[in-house]
Chain A
Amino acid sequence: MGTDPHLTWNLARDVSEVLEYHFMVNALIAGSVVAVMAGLLGWFMVLRSETFAGHTLSMMAFPGAAGAALIGVAATWGYFVFCITGGLVIGRFSGGRGRSWSEQSAVIGSVQALALGLGFLFVSLYGGVLGDLDNLLFGTFLGISDSQVLVLVGVAVVAVAALAVLGRPLLFASVDADVASARGVPVRVLGIVFLLLLGLAVAATSQITGVLLVFALLLMPAASAQAITARPGLSLALTVAIGLVVVWMGLGIAYFSIYPAGFFVTTISFAIYVGVQIGAWVRSTARREIQMSEPPAEGVIA
């Protein structure tokens, strides 16, 4: 870089400075693509209460990268392979009606522990130091190449197209699995396919935010939007909007700062989440006070 980046009061000048650099343009394109895909899949993840599964899929990066280093291929490939396998395994072993929620969460935890254990084994067999561990854990936006952008766009198109086809039955199955299954919706298969897509989205998102901070784009925008409105369409649109704002602001601020983008993306996302939660709490408290004079509605006791 010729000159040190520094923030001025002229926002238009700052933005044009950011856009002068090819790597920033790449980062913004990649970030936007990821924000849309992660937002849409994350929305269903929150709806289905599969946050732990999403987190476990993000941890697949460790055995993925270590395994890839061991056999000598690019870390991204190992990551996608492990994410997809992990999605299948979780879907296979945690689903089904025989298992209660408490056991499902134990199964997901066991899958994660086993995957991390495999990762340790790979590292120990590999013997060397994993080169880009920093980037893997905390993300990088400086070095996103044109080909990486293309891969991300490809993955996003596949994932969003699949979601567009599955969206309606998936929504039905997520909201009321029993009724959906009685109406002939293949609830179990949908659940597994969804985890596969989630694995794809997690692997792609971590390219921007790093493995540890995937939830900044996958979880928080969706959780915020769902606290704002219960209408699926509006809530989905809000999720994507929040995700885009978070990515643009996060990358923009990170450009002018020495601290990593992941920190800003996470902090902005969390600030929005907390703000929305406080707003929802205030709203529900106000509503409860209005209802105080009326007889209690169904479900208030619980």
Chain B
Amino acid sequence: MFSQEFMRNALLAGTFIALACGVSGWFVVLRGQVFAGDALSHVAFPGALAAAAAGVDERVGLFGATIAVGAGIGLLGQRSFAGGRGTVGAAPAGDAAIGAVFTFVLGLGVFFLTLFSTSSGGGSGIQAAHTLFGSIFGLGSGEARLAAVIGLAAVLATLVIARPLLFASISPDVAGARGVPTRLLGLGFVMLLGVVAAEATEAVGALLLLGLLAAPAAAAHRLAGNPYAGIALGGLLAVVAMWAGLALGYAVPGLPPSTAIVTIAVGIYYASTLVA
């Protein structure tokens, strides 16, 4: 299995993307921002299309769109997400704003798609969109290395702000009173999430991003009471799901690796609800 180059690339990129998703996912779940992460992965697509229509490198549009929308969500959600881990019924009111913003951006994407497919002649826009978002088994070694570097950088950035972000997420009022810049932290975190979303969406697809962001972290929240143990466990479970899914996808013909990875990740979460 390891003699195949595509498999080594998939493992390299997959491990670090999974780690980034698991670690930042712990905070995403804590702050109730899974929807925001999902929305960011959706705007990656119109961003790349807009760049393609404008003739710019697609990465510019990809990262530009996710970071800009991340900033927008961060600003819109200042008050509503601040509560984070509320009781039932303390759902953030910002989710309507997130839905409205990303739907509009997707509407723009439809517009760019038409523009793109009419200006470039024969090539169907949908086809272009598919090639923009490769599968995890289709990564080149350069792409895989870049994904690994960005994943590692995102993990480190999350760990650097982990302590104040934890304080700001659990008790925003007290943190604010103690001089923690809660707004800036919240904004910075969603923009960081935008970087993770852009990289993961481009390298492995939006599906894996969502699966690895939500399920392993939710399991970690159930299993570990200590925040740092939870963050570590979230990263670990995501990497385990990634490795097991890749192996399964390699072994079973016809089974897409992303399906296997997501199924294992959700299976881990389900098992955690039975245990704890």
| A interface residues (Cβ-Cβ under 8 A, vs B) | 46, 48-49, 51-52, 54-55, 97, 99-110, 112-114, 116-118, 120-121, 124-125, 133-134, 137-138, 177-178, 210, 212-216, 219-220, 223, 258-260, 262-263, 265-267, 270, 273, 277, 302
Contact = CB atoms under 8 A, between A and B. Distances in A.
Count class of interface residues, chain B: 35 or more
B43 to A, nearest CB: 11
Contacts of A107: 214, 218, 269
A213 B107 contact: yes
Given A109-B38, A113-B214, A263 B259 contact: no
B93 interface: yes
A263 B254 CA distance: 36
A51 B32 CA distance: 13
Contacts of B140: none
B96 A219 contact: yes
Which of B84, B92, B206 is most buried by chain A, counting CB atoms within 10 A of its CB?
A: B92
B263 A51 contact: no
B181 to A, nearest CB: 19
Contact of B126 (A99, A134, A266): A134
Interface stretch (B97-105, B153-161, B184-192): B97-105
Given A117-B207, A117-B259, A51 B99 contact: yes
Given A103-B29, A110-B266, A124-B255, A55 B93 contact: no
B111 A259 contact: yes
B139 to A, nearest CB: 17
Given A49-B93, A102-B29, 8 more contacts: A97-B88, A101-B90, A108-B35, A110-B214, A114-B263, A117-B263, A120-B207, A219-B103
A103 B263 CA distance: 18
A121 B38 contact: no
Given A55-B35, A103-B221, A109 B210 contact: yes
